[in-house]
Amino acid sequence: METMQLVLPSKPVDPQQNKSLIKLLFLFLSTNLLSILLFSNFNPTKLFFQENIPLLLELEATQSNLSLNQAQIKLLQINLKTTISLLNSHLNKSHKSQPKENNNAFTWLQSLKGELRLAVGPHKLPLGYTPNLRTDTWQPPIGLMCQLLSDDLAHYMTYEVGGECPSDAELAQKLMLRGCEPLPRRRCRSKSPARYIDPTPLPESLWQTPPDTSVVWDNYTCKNYSCLVHRAEKPGSYDCKDCFNLHGREKTRWLHDDGGINFSIDQVLKLISPGTVRIGLDIGGGTGTFAARMREHNIIIVTTTMNFNGPFNSFIASRGLVPVHLTVGHRLPFFDSTLDLVHSMHVISNWIPGLVLEFLLYDVYRVLRPGGLFWLDRFFCVGPQMNETYVPFINKVGFNRLRWHEGRKMDRGERMNEWYLSAVLQKPIN
């Protein structure tokens, strides 16, 4: 938009004209202020404009009453017209971005009561503090599936405001796993572990089993780490049977490259320029051992994990590593092309429904930087699935293969004809 110079008359002006001049000046300033707002990052909110419409109309009326320099008025009129039409189109836009009233989700949000309603809003934003939100209301996020789990959700949102939260971590996780993710926030104090003591400093913390007092044991079958270390394998549970035992198999993971499906961290890091793997993600990383080993290489790995019948998140945190409580179905909470490495062992496998897996693989591709590595560690499936389904699937995403090895998975017997795939895939640079 053109900037306008307001040329003030050089001759003395009478008081009446002076008043008009001030009005004109105000009109000019407001108009241009609006133009600036409209063209800057400040995306005007509906609220802002609705409150200012009377002012604009008043200014428009004032304008027609002014008897100053014709050329100036012409310019002002053009300016005003543009501003008003911009204003209209913004009003239309902000109106369109509001949820539709005939939408189920909208109706559901409107029907909420009590604490849940307060938690998920919507809430009006204070005027003038909203440049990045692009809206005049704050709509706290809540997983769409929460709508279908309303009994559990209502239960979850029943607590004493300002008091201690119920011991319901299990309920929270159950909701998340069924698609009620993210959960709404609550206004209660989550229970702290009794007799909590300061954590062990790094690097000792990486390989130390934390004290039992560092955890709220809630409804876990085990009530201490000793029980978790020695728990028997449940039928059908292959992962993390003994990953709470930091002195057993966990201690040697990713140290030895056997030329087969077990790659070592050292060998994988050698695949790209030294030092260029710095930050990454381990999807479904159990008790955090991958992150611990990478930490020893000065690489920061964030580990997503659920608390499946054990305090996985607390355990990882006690090791001095970053746990993220997120289901495998959740969009990865990282921006595009940001991570040097994504690793996942066992978790990304044939138990994930095909389409979910496909979306997940593209999401991994998204968050990896060009040249970043996706270490698919011991993906498993049944023999024929490998070439019929999964190899084409993985190829389709568009990674380059740096390493690829298929091998038999024998822990449930040869008869099962199960196979592993370990691969290091690179996001292409161009």
Q: Residues interacting with ligand NAG, by CB under 6 A? A: 58, 61-62, 65, 85, 88-89, 92, 168, 170-171, 219, 222-224, 226-227, 249, 253, 258, 260-262, 383, 386-387, 406, 419
Shortest CB 172 distance to ligand NAG, Å: 8
Residue 78, Cβ neighbours under 10 Å: how many?
13
Shortest CB 419 distance to ligand NAG, Å: 4
Residue whose CB is less far from ligand NAG, 57 or 105? 57
Shortest CB 90 distance to ligand NAG, Å: 8
Per the DSSP assignment, residues forming a β-bridge with 323 are: 303
Give the helix/strand (H/E) hosting 124.
strand 123-124
Residue whose CB is less far from ligand NAG, 81 or 331? 81
Shortest CB 58 distance to ligand NAG, Å: 6
The closest alpha carbon to 363, from 326, 332, 395, belongs to 332
Per the DSSP assignment, residues forming a β-bridge with 282 are: 303, 343
Residue whose CB is less far from ligand NAG, 217 or 374? 217
Shortest CB 413 distance to ligand NAG, Å: 15
Instruction: Say if CB 380 and CB 346 are below 8 A apart.
Output: yes
Residue whose CB is less far from ligand NAG, 169 or 367? 169
Instruction: Say if CB 219 and CB 166 are below 8 A apart.
Output: no
Instruction: Say if CB 117 and CB 86 are below 8 A apart.
Output: no
Tokens 């690097």 correspond to 203
Long-range contacts of 67-75 (CB under 8 A, 24+ apart): 67/20, 68/9, 68/17, 68/20, 68/21, 68/24, 69/7, 69/9, 72/6, 72/7, 72/24, 75/4
| CA distance linking residue 96 with residue 1, whole number of Å | 25
The closest alpha carbon to 186, from 162, 219, 170, 215, belongs to 162
Residue whose CB is less far from ligand NAG, 274 or 392? 392
Residue whose CB is less far from ligand NAG, 89 or 104? 89
Shortest CB 208 distance to ligand NAG, Å: 17
Shortest CB 92 distance to ligand NAG, Å: 4
Residue whose CB is less far from ligand NAG, 115 or 168? 168
Q: Which two tokens stand for residue 245?
A: 């035992």
